[in-house]
Amino acid sequence: MGQVDKDYIKNRMAAAEKGTAEAYYDLGLLYSIGHGVEQDNIEAHKWFNLAAMRGMISAQIDRAEVADGMSHMEISEAQRKAREWMVTH
């Protein structure tokens, strides 16, 4: 992972801390493909879910695609993590 990737991820996390839907979506994409972070469907689903709650249609579509490859337990964990994020941010 290059410095550009690290800086981009830090930027997206900072924007996510402020509640930016686009940052949530971008983090979902990064986790779904494992670009600059370890590929993690639970994290991808969490970020897409947060973006979808902010009204992003593309996030709703991508969340559904990620969910296709997940178990019910994994989806439940992703939803729990999204709720925790909303409570703490």
Task: Report how many domains make up the chain.
Answer: 1
Domain that includes residue 27, residue range: 3-88
Residue 40 CA: distances (Å) to CA of 18, 32, 37, 55: 23, 6, 8, 23
| Whether the predicted pLDDT of 1 surpasses 60 | no
Q: What pLDDT score does 2 carry?
A: 64
**CA-CA distance, 7 to 20, in Å (whole number)?**
17
Q: What is the per-residue pLDDT across 13-59, written as a single tens digit (0 to 9) for each?
A: 999 999 999 999 999 999 999 988 999 999 999 999 999 999 999 99
Note whether 52 and 59 are within 8 A (CB). yes
